Amino acid sequence: MKRIAFVLGMALALPLAASEPAKVTAAAPPRSELTLSQAFDLAWQRQPAAQALPGRQAQSRAESELAAAWTPSAPKVTLGTLTDRYNDRAGWREWEAELAVPLWLPGQRDAQQALAQSQQALVGLQAGAQRLELAGMLRDAWWRLAAAANASALAQGRLDWANALLVDVDRRWRAGELPRTDANVARAEAQVAESESIEARNGERQAANAWRALTGVAPPTSLPEEAPAAAAADPLSANPRLLAINAAIARARARAHLQDKSAREAPELTLRVLREQSNSAEPWANAVGVKISIPFSSGPRLASEGAGVAADLAEAEAQALQLREQLQLDAEAARLDLQAADHRLALARTRAELAADTLALVQRAFTLGEADLATLLRARAAASDADAERGRQRIARASAISQLNQVIGVLP
């Protein structure tokens, strides 16, 4: 009714112009042949996390190789010399060489390997969680684009109908079958429809730009809905976010185990070689020795490191519990939303069918002169609103499917 009142108000102040229908000059954004899965792959390649992933994987592999080494760190060589020869070449001199090799503490090497393996697993699973986050952004952009395209198509349909009505009313006005006020109302309706079409196309262009910023390519020509995820006993068991946080717990436990096996710094085994000459007339005397250095443990340092590791583990476990509970609630809400969307879509389809049938009847009556223009415009507005609602509910249902897949952790 507000739309009809607005159109009638414009008609009172609008002089009759030429009878050519109004045209929208704004062009639709270019389209591409692309599925949601293909778009997801393109969007992931553009992400900084994806570009950093090979480096992080190489780092975790290097840490795993380091943990598998025979020593916790590289050996070191020390060279030294002593002499009392300043200006006299016949005095005493000594050369010394040392090779120091650090040693693993009991159980430390296995603990370090377990930590390296847990870190390597965490890198891949964190990438999976980042991919799921990107999938959510892409799904939102996909359905915003679908909604904008649907609104643009509906606006163009209203414009086409308004232009056709304008031609018919203008012809009948010139033939004396309709008053001039009806011709003015028809032109006002066409101009309102043109304005709405321009606005809808602008919204579609903005949605297309957001899509292009995310994927780097033009929007797809078609935007079909996703298939619902298959039912499972525990649909959250493969959720990348849960897998990543469980891997973080495993890493925290591995760190705690390593800290327990690293009560002190690594001991060192040193091989010494000594060459000594009392004076130039004496032969060189050689000696070989071994020494071992065992650092003492530090109670305050161990307490500080242990508290930090325990805090990280407790935090990761609490986050995992909280995330699982939240995902369970989100999954249940998503299922209910999908059921509600199914029901609303069925109602919207029935309403659209009834409105379309009413419009066809009123259109026939208007053509035969049995109904006035205001009645036709009301019927057209009702049919347009019902058609728009059906499109919105269709997209809302498809979006609800995507949201359920997102909560469960299914990638496009």
Which amino acid is located at 149 in the chain? Answer: A
Distance in angstroms (rounded) separating the CA atoms of residues 287 and 292: 17
Q: pLDDT grade, residue 87 (50/70/90)? A: low
CB atoms within 10 A of CB 390: 23
Mean pLDDT of the chain: 85
Question: Which range, of 76-85, 194-203, 295-304, averages the lowest pLDDT?
Answer: 295-304
The average pLDDT across 39-50 equals: 92
Among 267, 276, 320, 271, which residue's Cα sits nearest to residue 295? 267
Q: With 50 as the cut, is the pLDDT of residue 119 above it?
A: yes
Look at residue 222 and give its three-state secondary structure: coil
Q: What pLDDT score does 266 carry?
A: 80
Q: Out of 88-97, 183-192, 382-391, pick the least confident.
A: 88-97
Each residue's pLDDT tens digit, 60-84: 888 888 888 888 888 899 998 887 7
Q: Which helix (H) or strand (E) element contains residue 89?
A: none
> What percent of the chain is modeled with pLDDT above 90?
46
In contact, 199 and 11? CB cutoff 8 Å: no
* Section 279-304 average pLDDT: 79
pLDDT on residue 15: 40
Nearest one of 239, 245, 278, 266 to 106, comparing CA atoms? 266
What's the whole-number mean pLDDT along residues 47-72? 88
Residue keyed to tokens 């949605």 = 207
Per residue in 310-345, pLDDT tens? 888 898 899 999 999 999 999 999 999 999 999 999
What's residue 298's pLDDT? 67
pLDDT of residue 86: 65
Residue 18: per-residue pLDDT: 38
Rounded to whole angstroms, how far apart are CA atoms 120 and 141?
A: 32
Amino acid 29: pLDDT:
55
Residue 310 CB neighbour total at 10 angstroms: 14
pLDDT for the residue numbered 32: 66
**If residue 234 lies in a helix (H) or strand (E), which one and from where to where?**
none
Better-scored residue on pLDDT, 2 or 216: 216
* Mean pLDDT of the region 232-255: 88
Provide CB contacts within 8 A for 213, sequence distance 6+: none
Task: Give the pair of three-digit tokens for residue 161.
Answer: 């109908």
Please give the structure tokens belonging to residue 260.
């327990």
Q: How high is the pLDDT of residue 1?
A: 45
pTM for the model stands at: 0.80
296 pLDDT exceeds 70?
yes
Residue predicted with more confidence, 80 or 232: 80
